[in-house]
Structure 1
Amino acid sequence: MTTAIVQYNAGNIRSVLYALERIGTTAIVTDDPEQLRSADKVIFPGVGEASSAMAYLKERGLDQVIAGLTQPVLGICLGMQLMCSWSEENDTVCLGIFPEKVKRFRPADKLLKVPQIGWNNITRLKSSLFEGVAENSYCYFVHGYHAAIGSHTIATTDYGGDYSSGLHRENFYGVQFHPEKSAAVGEQILRNFLFKINT
């Protein structure tokens, strides 16, 4: 099985590689369209800013490549947000794989800091991506923007209100948290994506 990680100007790729090594597998890091299309699984991670990341993807034609992939694809953090239709972060038109929109946190509770950094629960788990993961499990988050809840929501998290911490449409999956930094829960989610999900 070949796993490809999308190479673009967004960080966190190395920690994903280390997480895959911990569960006994490896991946190639590439921005080559043919390598992405031919991989069995594709991971689209990211830490960064939406508009500059989308500009990089469009400049290289990777926006069309990613949206056209037919194998299972997992977006992580910014990767998931870029798979949505639009981000409030610099008014960015994204890939449109998920119709949900991404907006900045504006919690009424001033004790809730933005960005959200740290551990939080994932609830209302619906997908085989979360097989073997207990309801209310803790995962690690770092983000100032969040995807709205919609018809493709497969997990929710409450931070001054509920938002989508997991999305699924056809062969595309996304998680707002960082499974590569979420200890045993994150490793289980990565295993599910790599070894159990086929479509």
Structure 2
Amino acid sequence: MKPIVVIDYNGGNLASAAQAARRASADLGLPNPVVITGDPAVVRDAERIILPGQGAFANCAAGLHGGLRAALDDATAAGTPFLGICVGMQLMAERGLEHEETPGFGWIDGEIARMDQAAAEGLRLPHMGWNRLDYRAGMHPLTEGLSPDAHGYFVHSYALRNWNPADLVASAEYGGVVPAIVARGNRCGTQFHVEKSQRTGLRIMANFLLWQP
């Protein structure tokens, strides 16, 4: 039985992301075990891959060593569904500009930059707390069954800019449009913390576990 893999790369929120996946999996009656691992061989053989993230873009990127980055590329190129959470989503972009320029995965267009517009409007950074998700019903399976008033829990000072509109599944408003959910092919990500977003987060996690891109 192939596992649902939560990648351990010295990032944050591993246990809570795994717990959210286990809860959603149990609710759905799925037989696949949820494991936390940094073993590239297990990642390559995964049923689905979850990449949590907390902290700086460059530090998280550097944590994907020892063959983990190659395993991620190989598995997702072969069609394994991928979910990036917070910095895990940000790493999907072409590059990050947090403190220094750091290459990302290049799976979606755009770069991760400081939310200067929000700061200029006097809004606090990091952007921390609940924000409404703006999405179009039926646009993507990840939003299936969400309330029209669904909110996600955000903690970040950097966000995706210069994105491709075709990749945008949902957004939030914080000194301008903030990409909240992105997806291209079998790779998707949420800027907000699915594992901290209560009913909305569990629904999105369940949708990911059932997703057949």
TM-score, L = length of structure 2: 0.87
Question: Contact 1:67–1:97 (CA<8 Å) still a contact in 2?
Answer: no
Aligned length: 196
Does the 8 Å CA contact 2:41/2:71 hold for their aligned counterparts?
Answer: no
Instruction: Name which of 111, 126, 139 aligns with 1:115.
Output: 126
Other-structure match for 2:171:
156
**Counterpart-to-counterpart distance in 2, 1:56 and 1:193:** 24
Aligned-partner Cα distance in 1 for 2:173–2:66: 36
What are structure 2's unaligned runs of at least 5 residues? none
Give the match for residue 148 of structure 2: 135
Q: Give, in angstroms, the shift of residue 67 of structure 1.
A: 2.3
Between the aligned partners of 1:84 and 1:12, the Cα distance in structure 2 is 20
- Provide the rounded CA distance (Å) in 1 between the counterparts of 2:45 and 2:89: 21
User: Quick check: 2:11–2:63 contact (8 Å CA) kept in 1?
Assistant: no
Could you tell me how far apart the structure 1 residues matched to 2:67 and 2:110 are? 23
Q: 1:133 to 1:81 in 2, by over 3 A?
A: same
Match of 1:178 in 2: 193
Q: Tell me how far apart the structure 2 counterparts of residues 50 and 114 of structure 1 sit (CA, whole Å).
A: 16
SS at match of 2:135: coil
The Cα shift of 1:5 comes to: 0.5
Match of 1:33 in 2: 40
- Check whether the contact 1:147–1:165 (CA below 8 A) recurs between aligned residues: no
Q: CA deviation at 1:54?
A: 1.2
**1:139 touches 1:177 (CA, 8 Å); kept in 2?**
yes
Which whole-Å CA distance do the structure 1 matches of 2:5 and 2:176 have between them? Answer: 34
1:91 to 85, 89, 101: 101
Identify the residue that residue 66 of structure 1 maps to in structure 2: 72
- 1:165 correspondence with 2:180: yes
Answer with 176-185 or 130-139: which moved more.
130-139
Identity of aligned residues (%): 34
Deviation for aligned residue 1:7: 0.7
1:60 Cα shift? Answer: 1.6
| CA apart distance, 1:2 | 2.0
Deviation at 1:18, TM superposition (A): 2.1
2:88 is matched with: 79
Please tell me the root mean square deviation across aligned C-alpha atoms, in Å: 1.5
Map of 1:145 onto structure 2: 158
Match of 1:100 among 110, 115, 121: 110
Query: Partners in 1 of 2:21 and 2:51 — Cα distance?
Result: 14
Deviates more, 1:74-83 or 1:98-107: 98-107
Q: Which moved more, 1:6-15 or 1:23-32?
A: 23-32
**Local SS of the residue matching 1:189:** helix
Determine the structure 1 residue equivalent to 2:11: 10
Aligned AA (1:191):
A
Cα distance per residue 1:6-52 (max 9 Å; x no partner)? 11021101111222333326511111112111111110111011112
Gaps of 5+ in 1: none
Residue 98 of structure 1 and its aligned partner are, at CA, apart by: 1.1
Separation (CA, whole Å) in 1 of partners of 2:90 and 2:45: 24
Counterpart amino acid of residue 156 in structure 2:
H
Name the SS of the counterpart of 1:15 in structure 2: helix
Verify the 8 A CA contact 2:55 2:87 in the aligned structure 1.
yes
